[in-house]
A and B are shown apart, each in its own frame.
Chain A
């Protein structure tokens, strides 16, 4: 048996059983309780026939039961698939059938959607309700209530999993219209977790924030680094992120010492969070990742909250974090974005030019390639896409060594830091989410009255990019923006729905007859 993610919890529960492991609003669990409850979930899953390597879904608004479910699934030697609690039914259904989720943990609040999923998916057989509600509107599946789970033994299950087994699958936007599942092993994840634990010098006395949703890979730091340190994890209530003054007050109230999120939430706090009225001396580390932090807002943040150390982390879901940059004082006149920094100590990255040449000189642009134990196994059930980006290390001739093409263009600066320059394809970032333009276009094209569509990413200071769709309709068509927005919401998550819809008789074309996005983007920026 290898060393696995759940051992971080088991070890902390052994060392400090009564220490608070997780807090959400008025509820909390000690490490012992979290360990025992997740054992009970594991027993319930095994009793339902869940086998090593089987995918088990989690469809719960972020809360303590989501965390219990995560560990319960891992302890059953299974693979957890965190579903976006706000995703449209068709997208949830796609993911459930794509990785054949037979068993799913949910809450009674999700019952209406679960009824639809029970009807429309092929693989679902068992559902476990994770809240204590007595009255449950039963689904046409095998229904297990939380009271059933609580009758299970609290003792750990013997297991034989290896660290090369999958731990979780995170779905991200896919260019051809459907999301793709990134397969992460225990070793992949622990490579990052062990590095982050040491590099961020976290301690058992730390209070960790958990801001990112569990279907977003920023959550891996929060969940497992906190568990490894034996610290306390504070789940940020979803509605708090909407109200920056409340969020900053929450950080003060709970004495959060390690904060990790996308930059846009920190920018919102800089602009609207009344930071000058808070005492945030509790913060030791402020860590951000997922998108470029606009330099002026980062400088403001570091002025308003001067005590902590600030870190910019970088890495795609396929590798988790691979480079980091401890942010020094930013000069008043600097507008250029800060670097993404240097490679994490136990990983390896390098830059390859368009012609396949290994770049080691500063100032020359190329694609960032990652290798080592951080590199994911590939995309679930999609050999073609996997082969495109999970490649044989081009610098190694003598044996097979897997590497991952990030698709990110970078160059080195004089200090040996990587600078992010952009993408080689049509993927964009918005609020830290990666979005394939093609997935949005595919969704809009599937409307019978749409003749042509071009989706544009309009650069934005606060959220990296705003999404605009320019559309030419078929003759006699009468649909409007509101209708198309509703149509998109049937298949796309909220953050992928265009903010602006513009209608044109025809889309502008280049001399070769291609849709001219460059000219449309120019118009959009005026």
Chain B
């Protein structure tokens, strides 16, 4: 599974708790729509660090990097 897919799977299975987003696209807004909130972001970072073995720097904790599945994947792929 590629990076984007595994991030997407994590977001769908762990962070989305209503049924409205079962068809999440790579460019759907995650923050604006409330899919990622302050509870979710720390879980997501934990997942990225543990499962994809990347280190997220504090400097990278900005909305632009977490706006969509695509932007998260871009940030992670730069580190691999």
A274 at the interface (CB under 8 A from B): yes
A272 and B61: CB pair below 8 A? Answer: yes
Given contacts A431-B39, A494-B39, A495-B39, contact A243 B17 (CB under 8 A): no
Contacts of B63 in A (CB 8 A): 239, 242-243, 246
Instruction: Give B9-59 interface residues, CB cut-off 8 Å to A.
Output: 12-14, 17-19, 31, 34, 36-39, 41-43, 58-59
Question: How far is A489 from B35 in the complex, measured between Cα atoms in Å?
Answer: 13
Residue in A243, A462, A488 whose CB lies within 8 Å of B61: A243
A480 to chain B, nearest CB (A): 9
Residue among A86, A239, A431, A486 with the highest chain B CB neighbour number at 10 A: A239
Question: How far is A274 from B60 in the complex, measured between Cα atoms in Å?
Answer: 11
Question: How far is A420 from B43 in the complex, measured between Cα atoms in Å?
Answer: 29
Instruction: Give A498-520 interface residues, CB cut-off 8 Å to B.
Output: 499
A245 at the interface (CB under 8 A from B): yes
A485 and B17: CB pair below 8 A? Answer: yes
Contacts of B36 in A (CB 8 A): 242
A244 at the interface (CB under 8 A from B): yes
A-B contact count, CB below 8 Å? 55
Contacts of B18 in A (CB 8 A): 88, 486, 489
Question: How far is A238 from B34 in the complex, measured between Cα atoms in Å?
Answer: 10
A372 to chain B, nearest CB (A): 35
A57 to chain B, nearest CB (A): 20
Contacts of A499 in B (CB 8 A): 43
A149 at the interface (CB under 8 A from B): no
Question: How far is A274 from B13 in the complex, measured between Cα atoms in Å?
Answer: 31
Contacts of A243 in B (CB 8 A): 41, 61-63
A482 at the interface (CB under 8 A from B): yes
A263 to chain B, nearest CB (A): 14
A98 to chain B, nearest CB (A): 23
Q: How many chain B residues touch A (Cβ–Cβ < 8 Å)?
A: 21
A274 and B17: CB pair below 8 A? Answer: no
A241 at the interface (CB under 8 A from B): yes
A239 and B31: CB pair below 8 A? Answer: yes
A218 at the interface (CB under 8 A from B): no
A93 at the interface (CB under 8 A from B): no
Instruction: Give A215-262 interface residues, CB cut-off 8 Å to B.
Output: 238-239, 241-246
A489 and B62: CB pair below 8 A? Answer: no
B62 and A246: CB pair below 8 A? Answer: yes
Residue among B18, B38, B66 with the highest chain A CB neighbour number at 10 A: B38
Instruction: Give A273-324 interface residues, CB cut-off 8 Å to B.
Output: 273-274
Question: How far is A86 from B12 in the complex, measured between Cα atoms in Å?
Answer: 18
A242 and B58: CB pair below 8 A? Answer: no
Instruction: Give A38-78 interface residues, CB cut-off 8 Å to B.
Output: none
Contacts of B37 in A (CB 8 A): 86, 238, 242, 494
A488 and B34: CB pair below 8 A? Answer: no
Question: How far is A489 from B14 in the complex, measured between Cα atoms in Å?
Answer: 12
Given contacts A239-B31, A489-B18, contact A245 B59 (CB under 8 A): yes
Given contacts A243-B63, A486-B17, A489-B18, contact A274 B58 (CB under 8 A): yes
A241 and B38: CB pair below 8 A? Answer: yes
A498 to chain B, nearest CB (A): 11
B11 to chain A, nearest CB (A): 11
Question: How far is A491 from B42 in the complex, measured between Cα atoms in Å?
Answer: 23
A349 to chain B, nearest CB (A): 32
Question: How far is A451 from B27 in the complex, measured between Cα atoms in Å?
Answer: 40
Contacts of B42 in A (CB 8 A): 268, 462
Question: How far is A250 from B14 in the complex, measured between Cα atoms in Å?
Answer: 30
Residue among B18, B41, B61, B66 with the highest chain A CB neighbour number at 10 A: B61
A368 at the interface (CB under 8 A from B): no
Given contacts A239-B63, A494-B37, A499-B43, contact A488 B17 (CB under 8 A): yes
Contacts of A485 in B (CB 8 A): 14, 17
B7 to chain A, nearest CB (A): 16
Residue in B13, B17, B61 whose CB lies within 8 Å of A245: B61
Residue among A88, A243, A494, A495 with the highest chain B CB neighbour number at 10 A: A243
Contacts of B61 in A (CB 8 A): 243-246, 272
Contacts of A455 in B (CB 8 A): none
Contacts of A265 in B (CB 8 A): 38
B68 to chain A, nearest CB (A): 14
B58 and A494: CB pair below 8 A? Answer: no
A497 at the interface (CB under 8 A from B): yes
Question: How far is A246 from B66 in the complex, measured between Cα atoms in Å?
Answer: 13
Contacts of B43 in A (CB 8 A): 499
Question: How far is A431 from B18 in the complex, measured between Cα atoms in Å?
Answer: 22
Question: How far is A242 from B42 in the complex, measured between Cα atoms in Å?
Answer: 8
Question: How far is A508 from B36 in the complex, measured between Cα atoms in Å?
Answer: 35
Question: How far is A431 from B37 in the complex, measured between Cα atoms in Å?
Answer: 13
- 6 A-B pairs with least C-beta separation: A489-B17, A241-B38, A242-B41, A272-B58, A242-B38, A482-B13
**Which of A's residues lie within 8 Å of B, judged by CB?**
86, 88, 238-239, 241-246, 265, 268, 272-274, 431, 462, 481-482, 485-486, 488-489, 494-495, 497, 499
Excluding A242-B36, A245-B58, A489-B17, 10 further A-B contacts by CB distance (< 8 Å) are: A239-B31, A242-B31, A242-B38, A246-B62, A265-B38, A268-B42, A273-B58, A274-B58, A494-B17, A494-B37
A-B contact pairs, 10 of them (CB 8 A): A242-B66, A243-B41, A243-B62, A243-B63, A246-B61, A246-B63, A265-B38, A431-B39, A482-B13, A486-B17
